[in-house]
Amino acid sequence: MKKQITIMALAAILGVTAAGCSNNGNAGTDAGTNSGSNAETNSGSKNGDSGSGKPVELTFWGDWGGEGQKQFETMVDAFNKSQDKIRVKYVLQQDMITKFLTASTSGGAPDVLFWDRWRTSLYAPKNVLHPIDEFLAADGISKEDFYGEALKELTYNEKLYGLPLTVDARALFYNKKILADAGVEPPTTWDELEQAAIKTTKWNGSKLEVAGFSLGDPGLFNMYLQQAGGQMMSEDNTKTNFNTDQGKSVLSFWDRLLNEDKVYKTGFEQGLGEGTDAFVTGKLAMQYTGPWMLSTYKKYGKDLDFGIVPPPVGPNGDKGSVMGGFGLVIPEGGKHQKEAWEFIKWWTANKDNALLWAKTSLNIPGYKPALEDPFFKDDPFWKPFLDTLEFAKIRPAHPGYSVMENDAVIPNLQLFLQKKQSIEDTLEKSQKRGDQLLLDNADVK
């Protein structure tokens, strides 16, 4: 779900964190000692280099280039320096999933794969991923140290296929000056959100100059539905479950904001011009977005005085946000699975290394003990996200869910927001098309 973020002043950040890792023996010494000793013990991985005296060479595939590639290489370098039994190389891959599936049948699979977690239910049935349950048990790593929803997203048929590298969720960003000038506090409920949006919206005749709240992303329907007390799919995870009173509540709320309160205009943000951020330029009072925007917004300093709060609750007090993020997995066709596990464990299940990753990438790691560090505790911008992650839910683990959402729900929601379709027709058409897509994609081939 999360898009790759742009990191400001990366060179300075990497310099500080690399020095911190070097000076703090825990990140390199303790983890490195464990990694090295276990790798030596487990060097009998299939086709391993046991007994050769040479380090085992691992290939790590990912599709993050640019700043993301530098972040990955920082972690790879730190791991390589921490021990002398394993050497990892990051390889940037475009169209990574297609290449991975091809490599899985031709003997060229990588040893470690950067993984968008929602894909697990789609690809685990293809037997291209290796479960890690035995590794986890052998090393005594507790699942309680990770976000349960993130682990659930990496699980299929009660088998765990990786560990979470990042977690994220949407929270409400607000422009402090705009809200203060309007005399309103950051909202905590739908009603407060509506009133705050009304009071912060500015029209000049027929021209919208400042939108009180963004309604530009229909893909957030799942989040609003949770806040309304509903869920996208049935309890048995076979059919849609949004053509309900809760679904109508969401669209009624959107309709009121858009067409009665007129706090937003469809296409408003796109109409500002390419590369223009409505929130940065003071043309948007409130919006839902994720932690990946923190570095971008922070760079504007006093020119953008913003705050963040967890998503406002719905009519009956229900909380809702969608958890996304990435993980690291081991391909079934990898030649050095035990060594690959050592690398994944070092990165994702060690407090110091997870913290190094957080400081390097400005992502929230999936390993909870790292979040107790002052890096997170002393920065008020992180708290709303950490609070939100306590109740955020992953998308339903159905192979056809993403197809259903993208091809059935979102197109109909767009028609609704354009006033081309009623609430009833929108939900009914989304349900009919969505149920068919779920059925068509229920069996992974």
Q: What CATH number does residue 87 fall under?
A: 3.40.190.10
Residues 209 and 73 both lie in one domain: no
Q: Residue 175 falls within a domain, yes or no?
A: yes
Q: Residue 1 falls within a domain, yes or no?
A: no
pLDDT category of residue 270 using cuts at 50, 70 and 90? confident
Residues 117 and 142 both lie in one domain: yes
Residues 145 and 180 both lie in one domain: no
**306-309 β-sheet, strand order:** 286-289, 171-175, 306-309
The domain boundary, picked from 357, 372, 389, lies at 389
Residues 317 and 331 both lie in one domain: no
Res 444: pLDDT = 78
Alpha-carbon separation of residue 422 from 142, 215, 226, 244, 419 (angstroms): 49, 17, 21, 14, 7
Phi, psi of 112 (to 5 degrees): -135, 140
Residue 21 or residue 52, greater confidence: 52
Give the residue numbers spanning the domain of 27. 10-168+325-389
Q: Residue 130 falls within a domain, yes or no?
A: yes
For the record, the structure tokens of 192 come out as 């407060």
Q: Residue 2 falls within a domain, yes or no?
A: no
For the record, the structure tokens of 201 come out as 């919206």
Residues 33 and 152 both lie in one domain: yes
Q: Which residues of 261-298 are buried (b: 16+ CB within 10 A; e: fewer)?
A: bbbbbeebbeeeeeeebbbbeebbbbbbbbbbbbbbbe
Res 26: pLDDT = 34
Res 247: pLDDT = 98
Q: Residue 232 falls within a domain, yes or no?
A: yes
Residues 124 and 179 both lie in one domain: no
Residues 227 and 330 both lie in one domain: no
Residues 145 and 255 both lie in one domain: no
Q: Structure pTM?
A: 0.85
**Amino acid identity at 191:** D
Q: Residue 3 falls within a domain, yes or no?
A: no
Q: Residue 128 falls within a domain, yes or no?
A: yes
Residues 156 and 62 both lie in one domain: yes
pLDDT category of residue 302 using cuts at 50, 70 and 90? confident
Res 274: pLDDT = 57
Residues 360 and 436 both lie in one domain: no
The domain boundary, picked from 389, 409, 428, lies at 389
Q: Residue 50 falls within a domain, yes or no?
A: yes
When the pLDDT of each residue in the chain is averaged and rounded to a whole number, the result is: 89
Q: Give me the number of domains the chain comprises.
A: 2
Residue 37 has pLDDT above 60, yes or no: no
Residues 360 and 405 both lie in one domain: no
Residues 90 and 177 both lie in one domain: no
Mean pLDDT of 334-338: 97
The domain boundary, picked from 347, 370, 389, lies at 389
For the record, the structure tokens of 297 come out as 């917004």
Residue pLDDT, tens place only, 252-268: 999 999 999 999 999 99
Token pair 């992303």 in the structure block, residue = 217
